[in-house]
Structure 1
């Protein structure tokens, strides 16, 4: 049985937070500290809970709208069917909301965490993230989740203090905490099975004050239940939906997985991308189990009937994975509301292997091959070029809001961070358009 935690979880901590009685609804399961906001606002309408208000702020944010033109796995313009970061986030929210509700979490709180989980991702998906991490390595690095926290608490225009300080969306403590996948600073993550440390992190140095505030009362390195639900919903969604996109797009024939050699290829890609400690035999067994369920459509022909079969299969897989986690978690922690730090999400080993194996299928047949395509090399060059020219031209070339940040920045490192903020906010299309305007003759 696996704890769905990226960091060490101290089981002695479970139960030190108030556990609500069965039957309590909504925010009754949460404390005043959970619904507190970093900047105290005037009283609002009593017709909505604090978490309903948080969700509404995210839904109406410019950051969420931009996800509609940002790459998930395949570029938004590659065909009409492929998922974008926005449609992926909506699907994650649906999966997470239902899973959270089943475990007694506030569904709006989980929904908010799911909708925000990719807000900080730059143009060109993980390709753009790697490019920005390289240019920002000397100023605290770049990570999509850390950028999400920065957007929610600083960059998204919604709430300002009386003295003009931006507070972003000013979400509640519980919503911000639930949005943090990696609750540690750069280089301070948990040790991996191979002895190294994860490159993922959740906060930049100059965002430490709000990070410390939202983590008050939280066990060090542990994620709240709502964040764990969000993370598993994300894993489930992209493991299933990326494979669906690949099948419909003609990039993958799942019948290949009947071949032992092809399953071995998948296992090797999993080990190369996600860690050599993953057992190849367990991954092979996971793929065989999935084939036996009939939920991997191996005779897809593009017809409306086969599209319906594929869609039903994705639903069955989502139910299989989320249901297994819900059952395992309830078996250990019992009934009632499993919220915040009163419990942890458990995923059976076989379920975790099946999710990882499906992620490996997408890597093997879609993500790894594209790494050598000229388009993906070009995307990284576009990111590097944009950072270079914006850092050189400063406020003359930056959007007005980022130009103001540049002028207020105390040093070159802070100014580079502003440039990274600007580039990360771009969509795939606007990044290419800005590059064509600022770096003529190179597109």
Structure 2
């Protein structure tokens, strides 16, 4: 293995030379004592064009919506901050995981997401499945698999002749949420819906796993995943309370203020969750959910809808901070031995915290994602994404230079078209759709995809 040795104070503890090797360059990061290999990972993700593009992609609602909603970028920033803070506490207590490595994995975890969030992802998948059907091809589109593809193939760094961001093996491993390829629906329905590796990226994935053939994930991924869940639950609920869509005042009134409105709204919400879980074939303990809501209410109780006053803003921030503390301060590690961290440690999250977090996330689905106003928007989003994919596939001359170069490398028109559409911000997707459909031709000087 080439590269310079690490400055003794910069080598991350409990990580091997294999963990610190860079993808595609096959060497460790040359180090002058200023940054560790994992700190290089953070910086390379931060300076990538794909990271910047997350500012123009949905977290829940469209990135162009009026109001201070989280985008995919601000969500990822908060996941990274929270993941690093949890890792710092765990490192002080257990000797790992490395905080910079967790931060890098958190920054990268959504970098493969397409425009329009879940709606865009489902449109890409459904359209690819339809276009692949005649060929009997199983592979399709998945945001997590696209993340690995961006980091190892689509993104560009500073080394000519090498693709990807040249992140460390440990970083790529920690950013891979579902370490398997797509399975046929009749063999494994869950892995038909969620997977983290495309067939085209098998070689990169094999290198990342360094010979592992199981589906275990390292502890850094576990911290990242919990930071993602907590951020989603806390900050998205905060967003939609501020804009009046989630009725927290009715669901979680101050002590002694509950009345018929609270009972009615709680019943409506729990009916929604119970029906959703039943459709998924999952059990739902309604009595336990009521107890959880009472517990959440101790930290989230609000006396009235959000007014926009400074006092209300302070109160919302305090409640969000209390919730985040509740979800993160009870975590522990089960460590297999004094030298074990990556695959020898397991993040332990109290069961009541995980269940409460899942219930909070359902508030966003009940009051925002499944409301008719968003459903009509999502219909339009899916149409835009699906038509862009079809047009780019049928006329590859429409691809921008980088995707045309990619197509010349592998010859897969559908994958190159999907990579193109997935890379667009929402404003770019809408502008390009207007241009290609003839409803708004724009200008010959427009570079809507660059």
Per the TM superposition, whether the score is higher than 0.5 is: yes
SS in 2 for 1:344: strand
CA distance in 2, matches of 1:261, 1:110: 39
CA distance in 2, matches of 1:314, 1:391: 44
1:305 CA displacement:
0.8
Q: Does 2:265 correspond to 1:280?
A: no
SS in 2 for 1:136: helix
The C-alpha deviation readout for 1:146-196, integer Å capped at 9, x for no partner, is 0000000000011556xx3x430011110000000111111289x99xx85
CA distance in 2, matches of 1:321, 1:134: 35
Using a 3 Å threshold, how does the CA distance of structure 1 residues 196 and 386 change in structure 2: closer, same or farther?
closer
CA distance in 1, matches of 2:281, 2:79: 24
Taking structure 2 as the reference length, what is the TM-score of the superposition? 0.84
Deviates more, 1:79-88 or 1:265-274: 265-274
SS in 2 for 1:34: helix
Deviates more, 1:280-289 or 1:138-147: 280-289
Alignment equivalent of 1:125, drawn from 117, 121, 139: 117
The C-alpha deviation readout for 1:354-401, integer Å capped at 9, x for no partner, is 00000011110001115763221011000111011111211x211110
1:35 CA displacement:
0.4
User: Which residue of structure 2 lines up, in the alignment, with residue 12 of structure 1?
Assistant: none
Alignment equivalent of 1:421, drawn from 395, 419, 422: 419
Q: Does 2:302 correspond to 1:297?
A: yes
1:252 CA displacement:
1.5
Using a 3 Å threshold, how does the CA distance of structure 1 residues 269 and 243 change in structure 2: closer, same or farther?
farther
Deviates more, 1:427-436 or 1:151-160: 151-160
Using a 3 Å threshold, how does the CA distance of structure 1 residues 28 and 372 change in structure 2: closer, same or farther?
closer
Instruction: Report the structure number with the largest CA radius of gyration.
Output: 2
CA distance in 1, matches of 2:212, 2:67: 43
Alignment of 1:14-413 (within 5 A): 27-38=12-23, 39-41=25-27, 43-104=30-91, 105-137=97-129, 138=132, 139=137, 140-158=139-157, 160=159, 164=161, 166-187=162-183, 197=191, 199-216=193-210, 218=212, 220-257=214-251, 258-259=262-263, 260-268=266-274, 271=277, 276-291=282-297, 293-299=298-304, 300-324=306-330, 326=331, 329-330=332-333, 332-333=334-335, 339-370=341-372, 373-394=375-396, 396-410=397-411
SS in 1 for 2:193: coil
CA distance in 2, matches of 1:160, 1:437: 35
1:347 CA displacement:
1.6
SS in 1 for 2:61: coil
Deviates more, 1:263-272 or 1:396-405: 263-272
Using a 3 Å threshold, how does the CA distance of structure 1 residues 172 and 290 change in structure 2: closer, same or farther?
same
**Are the aligned partners of 2:10 and 2:33 in contact in 1 as well (CA < 8 Å)?**
no
CA distance in 1, matches of 2:58, 2:150: 19
1:61 CA displacement:
0.5
Deviates more, 1:227-236 or 1:433-442: 433-442
CA distance in 2, matches of 1:371, 1:213: 45
CA distance in 1, matches of 2:364, 2:309: 22
Listed as ranges, the gaps of 5+ residues in structure 1 are: 1-23
**Are the aligned partners of 1:160 and 1:168 in contact in 2 as well (CA < 8 Å)?**
no
**Are the aligned partners of 1:265 and 1:364 in contact in 2 as well (CA < 8 Å)?**
no
CA distance in 1, matches of 2:338, 2:86: 14
Using a 3 Å threshold, how does the CA distance of structure 1 residues 302 and 337 change in structure 2: closer, same or farther?
farther
Listed as ranges, the gaps of 5+ residues in structure 2 are: 1-8, 92-96, 252-261, 442-450
**Are the aligned partners of 1:271 and 1:277 in contact in 2 as well (CA < 8 Å)?**
yes
User: Which residue of structure 2 lines up, in the alignment, with residue 18 of structure 1?
Assistant: none
CA distance in 2, matches of 1:219, 1:404: 32
SS in 1 for 2:395: helix
* Equivalent residues, number: 405
